[in-house]
Protein backbone atom coordinates (compact mmCIF):
# COMPACT_ATOMS: atom_id res chain seq x y z
CA UNK A 1 0.00 0.00 0.00
CA UNK A 2 1.29 3.45 -0.89
CA UNK A 3 -0.39 6.62 0.36
CA UNK A 4 0.26 10.35 0.34
CA UNK A 5 -0.39 12.66 3.27
CA UNK A 6 -1.62 16.19 2.95
CA UNK A 7 -2.99 18.72 5.38
CA UNK A 8 -1.44 20.08 8.54
CA UNK A 9 1.30 18.48 10.55
CA UNK A 10 1.26 18.63 14.31
CA UNK A 11 1.81 22.23 15.34
CA UNK A 12 1.76 21.57 19.09
CA UNK A 13 4.25 18.70 19.23
CA UNK A 14 7.77 19.68 20.19
CA UNK A 15 10.52 18.80 17.75
CA UNK A 16 13.22 16.65 19.37
CA UNK A 17 16.33 18.52 20.54
CA UNK A 18 18.52 16.53 18.16
CA UNK A 19 17.12 15.62 14.77
CA UNK A 20 19.17 12.75 13.38
CA UNK A 21 20.42 13.00 9.80
CA UNK A 22 19.84 15.76 7.28
CA UNK A 23 16.38 16.03 5.70
CA UNK A 24 15.99 13.88 2.63
CA UNK A 25 13.40 14.22 -0.13
CA UNK A 26 14.07 10.59 -1.04
CA UNK A 27 12.91 7.48 0.79
CA UNK A 28 14.01 6.42 4.27
CA UNK A 29 13.56 2.88 5.55
CA UNK A 30 12.14 1.84 8.92
CA UNK A 31 12.39 -1.83 9.80
CA UNK A 32 9.42 -3.40 11.58
CA UNK A 33 10.58 -6.33 13.68
CA UNK A 34 9.43 -8.36 16.63
CA UNK A 35 8.38 -5.51 18.96
CA UNK A 36 10.54 -2.77 17.44
CA UNK A 37 10.71 -0.02 14.83
CA UNK A 38 14.28 0.77 13.74
CA UNK A 39 15.44 3.60 11.49
CA UNK A 40 17.88 2.04 9.05
CA UNK A 41 19.26 5.50 8.33
CA UNK A 42 20.43 6.38 11.84
CA UNK A 43 19.76 3.16 13.81
CA UNK A 44 17.40 4.76 16.35
CA UNK A 45 14.99 2.24 17.87
CA UNK A 46 11.69 2.73 19.72
CA UNK A 47 11.47 5.58 19.00
CA UNK A 48 12.66 5.25 15.43
CA UNK A 49 13.23 8.89 14.44
CA UNK A 50 13.66 10.03 10.86
CA UNK A 51 13.81 13.44 9.21
CA UNK A 52 12.60 13.96 5.66
CA UNK A 53 12.02 17.02 3.53
CA UNK A 54 8.54 17.74 2.16
CA UNK A 55 7.96 15.21 -0.61
CA UNK A 56 10.09 12.61 1.18
CA UNK A 57 8.85 9.09 1.81
CA UNK A 58 9.07 6.67 4.69
CA UNK A 59 8.94 2.97 3.89
CA UNK A 60 8.22 0.54 6.70
CA UNK A 61 9.36 -3.00 5.90
CA UNK A 62 8.54 -6.04 8.00
CA UNK A 63 11.46 -8.36 8.89
CA UNK A 64 11.75 -11.20 11.42
CA UNK A 65 8.38 -10.47 12.97
CA UNK A 66 7.75 -14.02 14.11
CA UNK A 67 4.08 -14.71 14.63
CA UNK A 68 3.25 -11.33 16.19
CA UNK A 69 1.15 -9.00 14.04
CA UNK A 70 2.23 -5.34 13.80
CA UNK A 71 0.91 -2.23 12.10
CA UNK A 72 1.70 1.47 11.71
CA UNK A 73 -0.82 3.82 13.35
CA UNK A 74 -0.53 7.61 13.64
CA UNK A 75 -0.84 9.24 17.04
CA UNK A 76 -2.57 12.41 15.89
CA UNK A 77 -3.54 14.26 12.76
CA UNK A 78 -3.42 13.50 9.97
CA UNK A 79 -4.59 9.98 10.54
CA UNK A 80 -2.75 7.12 8.83
CA UNK A 81 -2.88 3.40 9.53
CA UNK A 82 -1.34 0.52 7.66
CA UNK A 83 -3.88 -2.12 7.13
CA UNK A 84 -4.81 -4.70 7.51
CA UNK A 85 -2.52 -5.67 10.40
CA UNK A 86 0.46 -7.26 8.71
CA UNK A 87 2.87 -10.02 9.67
CA UNK A 88 5.81 -11.71 8.00
CA UNK A 89 8.96 -10.55 6.30
CA UNK A 90 8.73 -8.52 3.14
CA UNK A 91 5.49 -6.62 3.73
CA UNK A 92 5.83 -2.89 2.99
CA UNK A 93 3.84 0.20 3.94
CA UNK A 94 4.96 3.52 2.45
CA UNK A 95 3.86 7.15 2.92
CA UNK A 96 4.83 10.37 1.14
CA UNK A 97 4.83 13.35 3.51
CA UNK A 98 3.64 16.57 1.82
CA UNK A 99 3.31 18.94 4.79
CA UNK A 100 5.95 20.01 7.35
CA UNK A 101 5.32 18.80 10.89
CA UNK A 102 6.07 16.13 13.45
CA UNK A 103 4.25 12.85 12.90
CA UNK A 104 4.28 10.32 15.73
CA UNK A 105 3.22 6.71 15.27
CA UNK A 106 3.17 3.36 17.02
CA UNK A 107 2.02 -0.20 16.56
CA UNK A 108 -1.63 -0.08 17.66
CA UNK A 109 -1.28 -3.62 19.01
CA UNK A 110 1.89 -3.04 21.06
CA UNK A 111 1.52 0.66 21.95
CA UNK A 112 4.54 2.16 23.72
CA UNK A 113 6.66 -0.95 23.05
CA UNK A 114 6.85 0.10 19.38
CA UNK A 115 7.05 3.82 18.58
CA UNK A 116 8.43 6.18 15.99
CA UNK A 117 8.46 9.74 14.73
CA UNK A 118 8.88 11.42 11.37
CA UNK A 119 10.01 15.06 11.32
CA UNK A 120 9.09 16.69 8.00
CA UNK A 121 10.95 19.89 7.16
CA UNK A 122 10.12 22.48 4.48
**Statement: residue 16 has pLDDT above 50:** no
Closest CA to 44 of 73, 7, 16: 16
**Statement: residue 12 has pLDDT above 80:** no
Instruction: Tell me the C-alpha distance between 40 and 28, whole Å.
Output: 8
**Statement: residue 22 has pLDDT above 80:** no
In sequence order, the 6+-apart residues with CB closer than 8 A to the CB of 15 are: 102, 119
**Statement: residue 86 has pLDDT above 50:** yes
In sequence order, the 6+-apart residues with CB closer than 8 A to the CB of 107 are: 32, 37, 70, 71, 72, 73, 113, 114
> Which tens digit of pLDDT belongs to each residue from 47-71?
999 999 999 999 999 987 677 788 9
Instruction: Name which CATH class applies to 2-121.
Output: mainly beta
In this predicted structure, what is the pLDDT of residue 1?
Answer: 39
**Statement: residue 9 has pLDDT above 70:** no
Average pLDDT (13-19) is 45
Q: Domain limits of the chain?
A: 2-121
- Does residue 78 have a cis bond before it (omega within 30 degrees)? yes
> Which tens digit of pLDDT belongs to each residue from 95-117?
999 999 999 999 999 999 999 99
Instruction: Tell me the C-alpha distance between 21 and 119, whole Å.
Output: 11
- pTM for this predicted structure: 0.80
Q: List, as one string, the DSSP characters of 30-99.
A: EEEETTEEEETTT--BSSEEEEEETT-EEEEEE-S-TT--B--EESSSSP-B-SS-B-STT-EEEEEE-S
Question: How many whole angstroms from its chain centre is CA 67?
Answer: 21
> Quick one: what percent of the chain has pLDDT higher than 70?
78
In this predicted structure, what is the pLDDT of residue 23?
Answer: 62
Amino acid sequence: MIAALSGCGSSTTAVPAVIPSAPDAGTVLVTVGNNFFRSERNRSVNAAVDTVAVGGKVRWQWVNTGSAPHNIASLGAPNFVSGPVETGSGNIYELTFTTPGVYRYNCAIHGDLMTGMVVVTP
